[in-house]
């Protein structure tokens, strides 16, 4: 298990729309995909009881650090939550959720050559690689569920 120390972006903030959100500088996540004999697979992680909406499935992600791009932050968060990200990646697209003028969550769809990852910290109970249509059947984190149709389209079309 990796230990998590406080990072510059960790913390809740009151956004301009009146909602409190995690990530002082915004947040980002990554949906990893790879091709298999069964078709395109997506990595999903089951959030632990210690995480917001614990027990639901989502992608690896979290708060951005000061000066960090959404892609850098999403990949860093993934490495903290599910293990080392392969060096060879291809960004297929992104979906940006901007509910207020001062906060955004960017989710990237990133292709890797083969499945990787495991539950390596307190935020993740499980990691699974599933066919895209099977992700639809899981109890999804609300934010991820809202973005999933667009993310799935990116993953399917590229």
- The answer to whether 141 touches 151, Cβ cutoff 8 Å, is no
Measure Cα distances from 139 to 31, 41, 46, 57 in Å. 16, 18, 9, 6
Rounded Cα–Cα distance for residues 94 and 103 (Å): 16
Average pLDDT, the chain: 91
pLDDT for 32 beyond 90 = yes
Arch. (CATH architecture) of 27-157 = Alpha-Beta Complex (3.90)
- The answer to whether 42 touches 32, Cβ cutoff 8 Å, is yes
Please report where in the chains the tokens 């729309």 appear, as a residue.
17
User: What's this model's pTM, rounded to 2 decimal places?
Assistant: 0.91
- Give the pLDDT score at 4: 54
- Give the pLDDT score at 144: 93
Kindly give the residue spans of alpha helices, DSSP state H, lying in 41-131: 70-82
Rounded Cα–Cα distance for residues 121 and 50 (Å): 11
Residue ranges of domains in the chain: 27-157
């Amino acid at each position: 298990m990796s230990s998590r120390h406080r990072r510059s972006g960790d913390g809740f903030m009151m956004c301009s729309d009146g909602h409190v959100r995690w990530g002082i500088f915004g947040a980002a996540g990554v949906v990893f995909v790879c091709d298999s004999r069964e078709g395109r697979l997506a990595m999903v992680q089951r959030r632990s009881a210690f995480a917001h909406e614990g027990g639901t499935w989502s992608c690896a992600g979290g708060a951005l650090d000061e000066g960090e791009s959404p892609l850098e932050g999403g990949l860093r968060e993934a490495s903290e939550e599910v293990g080392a990200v392969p060096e060879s990646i291809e960004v297929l697209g992104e979906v940006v959720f901007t509910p207020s003028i001062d906060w955004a969550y960017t989710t990237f769809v990133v292709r890797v050559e083969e499945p990787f990852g495991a539950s390596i910290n307190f935020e993740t109970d499980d990691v699974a690689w599933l066919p895209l249509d099977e992700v639809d059947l899981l109890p999804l984190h609300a934010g991820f569920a809202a973005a999933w149709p667009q993310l799935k389209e990116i993953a399917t079309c590229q």
